[in-house]
Amino acid sequence: SRRAMGRAMGLAGVLVGLFLVPAVLVSTSLRHGAPRAEPAPEPAERELASGAVPEDSLWPLPQWLRTSRRQLQLAPARFQLVHGAGSSAGPACGLLQDAFRRYYEYMFGQSRRRRGRRPLGARADPELSQLQVVIESRDPGCHSYPHLASNEAYHLTVTEPVAVLKANEVWGALRGLETFSQLVHEDDYGSFLVNESEINDFPRFAHRGILLDTSRHYLPLKSILTNLDAMAFNKFNVLHWHIVDDQSFPYQSIYFPELSDKGAYSYNHIYTPTDIRLVIEYARLRGIRVIPEFDTPGHTQSWGKGQKGLLTPCYSGEQPTGSFGPVNPILNTTYNFMTKFFKEISSVFPDAYIHLGGDEVNFDCWKSNPEVKEFMKKQGFGIDYAKLESYYIQKILNIVSSYDKGYMVWQEVFDNKAQLKPETVVQVWMENNYAHELSSVTGAGFTAILAAPWYLDYISYGQDWKKYYSVEPLNFPGSEKQKKLLIGGEACLWGEFVDATNLTPRLWPRASAVGERLWSNWNVTNLQDAYKRLTNHRCRML
């Protein structure tokens, strides 16, 4: 072989995990501060003396857990996921019923099919017969959508003869089911085992997102759904759907069908209203919000194809060049269109937030257009085109507010001093000095989301997950109050070089690093420990 790169072997270990049977788990431990509760025991017969512990299989690591070396056996033919006594949710809770089916399949599905050639219960271990799920709130949330204030906390005890998963809302139960399924493992002889454990868990940050970009390359529904599954495995709870951009407009609008008729890559490269509903429901069943982004006034070339007069005509001297710039901010027709368009969006997408973009507005075209210049003069903006941008954004924000929606924006909207509603979420993406930007945004009292260090479309050799993992989001200058205003982050996979053929291996397990950073305790930072767990987690995901 043929070069120094050959020695940067990092990822190999993670990838190899694909083919390794997860080690059998031995010993007892208590996480976070406390030492392991018992000395390392003699490995039980049939167990590998690997020094592995049950939490080696967990990702992201729960906030608090105690595990024991005592193992219980699960018999797939008998084991049940059930609603526990006193739960406010029952068989009418479609969301939980669906989750029960799904997690049963994850835990036993593949193996069940190879079964039949050996008797069940050959081991002498005591049996775990049920996982009882108890929802404690009077309103479990079975038929609602997850939202920023959803309660994702849960408490899980695994002891003979039944395990109990308690959560205030179904959203916590979903997270707990994922954790429980991660604890269950199959030994070399096909027995399913779980260690007696107790886990108390809740997310560190409320907004844990993945950005997918379906404009640069169209993503078939299947890719989006597969990604929602992966998100659930990593306890992500927001799909930031960057659905349209300069390159294409795949969103099929009900009021303005020409936008996708003319702006999509083809008649097939669209998301119909049915597709959108399917994504939203698939996400809801996994406790994931869908926040659509309709980015204006820049990044709108594809809008112009189906909506004549929307974009600013660019000029060379006194002649229109025939090309177009950002949305034309000086026309009433623009705002009439946006009013109707965002009315539709507000009703199609149930989430309380819409992402309005507002980034990377290029002023050249505005500067070239004589009518825009005239408007600038009339408004007293001088030659400060950031003021024109803010003028436009302000009107869009007001339109969306009138539909009772909150909004997210990219950081430029804050930087350019648009008047924002207090609950506005400002997404910080510029890598240069993002800590300072977080400080400014929260210092001004706004809620912030961090994306800057997690642009996963950037590629490199080897284990870049460590870089993503080592980010401490709260490491910016600010008061306690300011720190509370940072509500989470997003891993962003821009679509210039990503489509259905490479999305999954490019995004996962790299995004898992962001998932643990946003869920687990701030002090969960050990890279060796993370590597071990991430290896097992990747294998399980595959």
Scanning 145-153, 239-247, 332-340, 441-449 for contacts with a second copy by CB under 8 A, the matching segment is: 239-247
Burial of 39 (0-12, 13-18, 19+ CB in 10 A): exposed
Contact between 525 and 466 (Cβ < 8 Å): no
**Closest by Cα among 96, 68, 75 to 84:** 96
Question: In the range 356-395, which residues lie near a second copy by CB under 8 A?
Answer: 359-360
Question: In the range 271-300, which residues lie near a second copy by CB under 8 A?
Answer: 295, 299
To a second copy, the closest distance from the beta carbon of 370 in angstroms equals 27
Out of 38, 258, 360, 472, which one is annotated catalytic? 360
- Would you tell me how many other CB atoms lie within 10 Å of the CB of residue 77? 10
Residues facing 239 on adjacent strands? 210, 290
Q: Which of 55, 201, 213, 389 binds a second copy (CB under 8 A)?
A: 213
Q: Which of 380, 496, 523, 528 binds a second copy (CB under 8 A)?
A: 496
Q: What is the 8-class DSSP label of residue 18?
A: G
- Alpha carbons 431 and 298: distance in angstroms, whole number: 20
Question: In the range 405-434, which residues lie near a second copy by CB under 8 A?
Answer: 410, 429-430
**Closest by Cα among 151, 96, 158 to 127:** 158
**Closest by Cα among 246, 495, 256, 242 to 365:** 246
Site for a second copy contains 233 (CB under 8 A): no
Per-residue DSSP letters for 279-342?
A: HHHHHHTTT-EEEEE---SSS-HHHHHHSTT-EEEEEETTEEEEEEEEE-TT-HHHHHHHHHHH
Site for a second copy contains 92 (CB under 8 A): no
String of contacts with a second copy for each residue 34-53, x by CB under 8 A:
--------------------
- Would you tell me how many other CB atoms lie within 10 Å of the CB of residue 321? 13
For residue 133, what is the enclosing H or E element?
strand 130-135
Residues binding a second copy: number (CB under 8 A): 50
Residue 42 annotated as catalytic = no
Q: Which of 71, 214, 247, 447 binds a second copy (CB under 8 A)?
A: 247
Site for a second copy contains 240 (CB under 8 A): no
- Alpha carbons 378 and 393: distance in angstroms, whole number: 18
Scanning 225-233, 300-308, 366-374, 503-511 for contacts with a second copy by CB under 8 A, the matching segment is: 503-511
Q: Which of 64, 106, 265, 335 binds a second copy (CB under 8 A)?
A: 265
To a second copy, the closest distance from the beta carbon of 18 in angstroms equals 6
What is the set of active-site residues? 360
Which spans of this chain sit near a second copy (rule: CB under 8 A)? 1-3, 5-6, 8-9, 11-12, 15-16, 18-20, 213, 216-218, 220, 242, 245, 247, 265-266, 268-269, 295, 299, 359-360, 410, 429-430, 455, 457, 459, 461-462, 492, 494, 496-497, 499-502, 504-506, 542
